[in-house]
């Protein structure tokens, strides 16, 4: 133990001396130590011989009490298990699907509509609502900000004024978050710039979403990751190298991560562009990340298929009415659609069940009724050798199953058996008079 503590002391001094060591890394190291000193000797002896990075990788326990979010990696039956905790919700390979209702800017810049959407999302099964936050003058070039933007979906004469009309200020965000907390639903947002990250930190969001278009904005990705909170990373329009860069950046800070397959088309019209099988690639390539799907189609089928492939998070755009003004309403789910999707996701979670094949309680009576037993085909007198011509297979079940017939044939009846009477071993001799290895049953049954 003394040698192990000395080993750990060197690690902490090394970490503290590093200019690039974040507070998150130190929390990681302290958590690893707490786990380390409670592990069996055989495990700790392996860790003592490992490199520092490997030691931290295998044993880290990161806990952010100030925002009530945790992620834990552990070994379970030899398989690396990953959990992300956000408030009262735990997302893992064994959990139901975590459903995010993407409100985005479907609130039309109206606080009361946004409140109604939060309540409707909570009432119809969503676990979280997500907004979008931009510091528009810092985000867009002057040319883009001042570009004319007059169309049926516009809320301003220029694109900048249009975006400004869809923003909420700090007091409004606090009001929305308070309502979400009261509804028992997670409130967070996608920040599009550094200023918006700072804004959301002041609000106290428990997690972040990184939009597909921002996956290559590594400075912003790193700034978000440095907060140590769970991150939902959309990967629409990205190459696998883009995803690798973002993943490595986020993991430098041990931020809990969900990587989401996404097709960045708004709306997505061609299902052939979905490529749900990418989830298999992600599962193999990023084993310490939760998988998810950010879907921009107008239906509820894709999240179900994605869950079967390993997705444990789904994000769908949400609206009160698809006929409302705005670019995203047409492919967003209305409350009834959200409710049906959440219902089906719960059903598929329950249907996935266990990998162990065993009879179910509800199957007993149907199988008894429709199954078959070995019975006497005709009257069999005591002392008769049981031959194929003397047996039949009839419903109901409950007696010897037909596959045991070769354990019956060749024995001697020790009592008279009536037609259709169940044949059981207690009515037969213990020894065989002759053996039947196989029977051509097509020549035996009555044609």
What CATH number did the domain enclosing 371 receive? 3.90.1210.10
Residue 101 in this model has a pLDDT that exceeds 70: yes
pTM here is 0.78
Do 236 and 156 share a domain, yes or no? Answer: yes
Q: How confident is the model at residue 21 (pLDDT cuts 50, 70, 90)?
A: very low
Considering the domain architecture, whether residues 391 and 303 belong to the same structural domain is answered as: no
Judge whether 299 lies within some domain: yes
In a domain, 21, yes or no: yes
Q: What is the pLDDT of residue 79?
A: 56
Q: Which pair of tokens denotes residue 377?
A: 């085909």
Q: What is the pLDDT of residue 74?
A: 46
Would you say residue 177 lies in a domain?
yes
Q: Are both 104 and 224 inside the same structural domain?
A: yes
The string of pLDDT tens digits covering residues 384-412 is 999 999 999 999 999 999 999 999 999 99
Write out pLDDT tens, residues 312-346: 999 999 999 999 999 899 999 999 999 999 999 99
Count how many domains the chain has: 3
The confidence band for 445, taking pLDDT boundaries of 50, 70 and 90, is: confident
In angstroms, the CA 326 to CA 341 distance is 23
Q: Is residue 70 part of a domain?
A: no
- Over 90: is that where the pLDDT of 19 sits? no
The single-letter DSSP state of residue 434 is S
> CA 1, CA 355: separation in Å to the nearest integer?
41
List the domain range (segments joined by +) for residue 420: 363-443
Which residue pairs from 387-395 have beta carbons closer than 8 angstroms and sit at least 24 positions apart in sequence?
Answer: 387/436, 388/436, 388/439, 388/441, 388/444, 389/444, 391/423, 392/420, 392/445, 394/420, 395/369, 395/370, 395/371
Is the preceding omega at residue 267 within 30 degrees of 0, hence cis?
A: yes
* Bridging pattern class, strands 231-234 and 257-262: parallel
Residue 357 belongs to a domain: no
Tokens 């029977």 sit at which residue? 439
Lowest mean pLDDT among 78-87, 155-164, 190-199: 78-87
Give yes or no: residues 287 and 400 share one domain: no
Location of structure tokens 């931009």? 134
């Amino acid at each position: 133990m003394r040698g192990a503590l000395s080993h750990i002391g060197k690690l902490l001094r090394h970490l503290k001396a590093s200019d690039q060591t974040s507070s998150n890394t130190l929390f990681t190291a302290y958590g690893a130590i707490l786990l380390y000193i409670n592990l069996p000797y055989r495990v700790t002896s392996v860790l003592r011989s490992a490199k520092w990075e490997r030691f931290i990788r295998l044993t880290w326990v990161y806990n952010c009490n100030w925002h009530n979010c945790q992620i834990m990696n552990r070994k379970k039956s030899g398989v690396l298990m990953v959990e992300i905790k956000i408030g009262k919700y735990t997302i893992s390979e064994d959990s139901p699907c975590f459903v995010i209702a993407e409100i985005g800017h479907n609130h039309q810049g109206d606080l009361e509509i946004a409140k109604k959407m939060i309540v409707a999302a909570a009432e119809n099964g969503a676990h979280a609502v997500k907004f979008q936050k931009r510091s528009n003058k810092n985000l867009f070039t002057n040319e883009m900000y001042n570009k004319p933007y007059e169309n049926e979906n516009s809320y301003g004469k220029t694109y900048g004024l249009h975006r400004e009309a869809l923003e909420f200020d700090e007091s409004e965000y606090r009001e929305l978050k308070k309502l979400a907390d009261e509804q028992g639903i997670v409130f967070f947002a996608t920040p599009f710039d550094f200023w918006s990250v700072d804004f959301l930190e002041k609000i106290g969001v428990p997690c972040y979403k990184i939009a597909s278009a921002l996956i290559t904005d590594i400075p912003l990705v790193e700034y978000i990751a440095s907060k140590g909170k769970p991150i939902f990373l959309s990967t629409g329009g990205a190459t696998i190298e883009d995803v690798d860069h973002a993943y490595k950046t986020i993991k430098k800070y041990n931020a809990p991560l969900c990587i989401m397959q996404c097709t960045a088309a708004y709306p997505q019209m061609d299902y052939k562009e979905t490529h749900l099988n990418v989830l298999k690639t992600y599962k193999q390539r990023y084993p310490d990340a939760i998988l998810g799907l950010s879907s921009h189609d107008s239906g509820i089928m894709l999240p179900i298929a994605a869950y079967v492939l390993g997705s444990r998070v789904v994000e769908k755009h949400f609206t009160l009415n698809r006929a409302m003004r705005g670019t995203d309403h047409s492919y967003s789910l209305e409350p009834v659609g959200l409710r049906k999707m959440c219902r089906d996701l719960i059903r598929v979670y329950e249907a996935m069940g266990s990998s162990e094949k065993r009879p179910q309680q509800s199957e007993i009576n149907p199988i008894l009724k429709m199954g078959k037993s070995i019975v006497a085909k005709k009257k069999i007198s005591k002392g008769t050798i049981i031959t194929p011509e003397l047996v039949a297979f009839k419903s109901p079940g409950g007696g010897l199953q037909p596959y045991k017939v070769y354990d019956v044939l060749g024995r001697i009846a020790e009592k008279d058996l009536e037609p259709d009477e169940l044949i059981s071993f207690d009515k037969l001799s213990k020894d065989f008079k002759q053996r039947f290895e196989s029977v051509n049953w097509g020549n035996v049954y009555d044609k």
